[in-house]
């Protein structure tokens, strides 16, 4: 086991949320209510007018604490039944340049550099590929391989065979999942 650790430059245990914002996160991390005036409904829970909820959400969006307000599809149900976590052992000197380019390819949803776990795990580049079939994912993986060229020493594809849980992020004490 190793420490989760913050990314370079990110705060460590920083209390960057106001008490009201923490309440707002807790009230909305399970989702927004599906009623005509959802911000008013959240405000009613927290004892404030809708305007304060809207302003606080706008501030959290501007600060990047909220990526976006959106709908998260279950990939499988959209027909993206092949879900491949591809992992690559890429030359450290070139991984950032290549990672940026791979991230732009169609079908790529996540692209990260991660610390190797030697000797068992030589891979430092993780590229999530989604397709409607494994054939499609294999084709996407070939594109990645061609792009990496001789900067890549080894690779593997780990297909998901079962979705065991998908609730999105929930902070403890922030309400229970609906599922």
Would you call the peptide bond into 119 cis, given omega within 30 degrees of 0 as the criterion? Answer: yes
Site for other proteins in 24-53 (CB under 8 A): 25, 28-32, 34-40, 50
Q: According to the binding rule CB under 8 A, does residue 20 interact with other proteins? A: no
**Measured between alpha carbons, how far is residue 129 from residues 35, 120, 143 in Å?**
35, 23, 11
Q: Which of 110, 149, 152 is nearest to 130 (CA)?
A: 110
Q: Whole-number minimum distance, CB 73 to other proteins, in Å?
A: 6
Mask: binding to other proteins, 126-165, rule CB under 8 A, as x and -? x---xxxx--x-------------------x-xxxxxxxx
Q: According to the binding rule CB under 8 A, does residue 172 interact with other proteins? A: yes
Question: At what angle are helices 50-62 and 19-28 packed, to 10 degrees?
Answer: 90
> Based on CB atoms, which residue is closest to other proteins, 153 or 167?
167
Among 44, 45, 108, 151, binds other proteins (CB under 8 A): 108
Q: Label residue 24 exposed, middle or buried (CB < 10 Å: 0-12, 13-18, 19+).
A: buried
Site for other proteins in 60-79 (CB under 8 A): 60, 63-79
> Based on CB atoms, which residue is closest to other proteins, 67 or 150?
67
Q: Alpha-carbon distance 58 to 68, whole Å?
A: 10
Enclosing H/E stretch for 127: strand 125-131
Q: Whole-number minimum distance, CB 151 to other proteins, in Å?
A: 15
Q: According to the binding rule CB under 8 A, does residue 106 interact with other proteins? A: yes
């Amino acid at each position: 086991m190793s420490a989760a650790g913050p990314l370079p430059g990110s705060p460590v245990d920083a209390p960057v949320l106001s008490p009201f914002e923490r309440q707002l996160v807790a009230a909305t991390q399970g989702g927004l209510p599906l009623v005509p005036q959802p911000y008013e409904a959240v405000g009613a829970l927290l004892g404030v007018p809708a305007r304060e909820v809207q302003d606080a959400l706008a501030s959290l969006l501007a600060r990047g604490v909220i990526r976006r307000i959106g709908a998260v599809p279950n990939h499988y149900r959209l027909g993206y039944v092949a879900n491949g976590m591809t992992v690559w052992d890429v030359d450290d000197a070139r991984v950032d340049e290549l990672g940026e380019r791979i991230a732009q390819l169609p079908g790529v949803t996540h692209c990260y550099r991660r610390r190797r776990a030697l000797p068992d795990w030589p891979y430092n580049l993780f590229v999530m590929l989604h397709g409607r079939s494994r054939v499609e994912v294999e084709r996407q993986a070939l594109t990645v391989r061609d792009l990496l060229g001789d900067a890549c020493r080894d690779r593997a594809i780990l297909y998901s065979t079962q979705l065991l849980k998908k609730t999105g992020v929930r902070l403890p004490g922030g309400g229970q999942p609906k599922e």
